[in-house]
Structure 1
Amino acid sequence: MFNIQTHMDFEGQHKAEKLSRFIITLFGIVGLIWGAVIQQFSQTVYILGAGFILASLLTIPPWPIYRRKPLNWQKPRYENQTNSDDSKKKKK
C-alpha cells in the first residue's frame, strides 16, 4: 500500500546528530542571554524547550536528506540442500 522509508544511512545519522547539537546549543545560549537580560530563568527554559522541539522535528523523522547514501547489502546465499545433506553425513 504505502512505501514509507523508516531508516537513515550512517552519514544521515551523523548529519542529524550534528544538526540537533547545533540547534540545542544555539537555543540554549540565546535562551540564557535572553533570560539574563530580562531576569527570568523561566524564559531560558522555554526557549531551550522550543529548541529541543525544533531539533526533534528536524532530526528524528527519517527525512530524505538523511537517506542519500544507502548501504548496498549483499543478497543472502542459501545453502544447497545436497550440500547440507553431505555435511550431516560427514559429521556422523
Structure 2
Amino acid sequence: MLDIQTHMDFAGQGKAERWSRFIITFFGIVGLVYGAFVQQFSQTVYILGAGFVLSSLITIPPWPLYRRNALKWQKPIDTDAKSSSSESGDEGKKKKKQ
C-alpha cells in the first residue's frame, strides 16, 4: 500500500515557516507595487491571494525536504516483564512489614 508520511520534523517546520513568510511578503510587495501602478486595489488583493495559495501548496504538505532531520525514538520498555518483577517484589515487602 502507499506509505504516505503525515508529519514534519522540527527543523522542517521552521523551514516551512520561513518559506511561507518569504512567499507571502514577496507577493504582498509585488501586489502592492502592481496595484499602485494600475490604480486597482483589487489587483493587489488577487496577487496576495495567489501568493497565499502558492505558499499553502509549498508549505502545508509534509514534502520530503521538510522531513530530513527525523528524531530517533527510544524503543518502548517491555511492560509485561517489568510488571511481573514488580509484583513479586511487592509481595516480599508486604510480608516483611507484617
For 1:65, the equivalent position in structure 2 comes to 65
Choose the corresponding residue for 1:86, options 64, 71, 88: 88
For 1:29, the equivalent position in structure 2 comes to 29
Task: Extract unaligned runs of 5+ from structure 2.
Answer: none
Letter in 1 for 2:14: H
Superposed, which structure 2 residues align to 1:1-80 within 5 Å? 1-79=1-79, 80=81
1:20-61, Cα deviation, whole Å (9 max, x unpaired):
000000000010111111110000000000000000000000
Task: Pick closer, same or farther for the CA change 1:87–1:49 going to 2, 3 Å.
Answer: farther
CA apart distance, 1:87? 5.8
**TM-score relative to the length of structure 2:** 0.85
d(CA) in 2 for partners of 1:87, 1:59:
53
Higher helix share: 2
d(CA) in 2 for partners of 1:12, 1:42:
34
d(CA) in 1 for partners of 2:49, 2:32:
12
Count of equivalent residues: 92
Task: Extract unaligned runs of 5+ from structure 1.
Answer: none
d(CA) in 2 for partners of 1:88, 1:49:
65
| Ranges of 4+ aligned residues in structure 1 off by more than 4 Å | none
Give the CA RMSD over aligned residues. Answer: 1.7
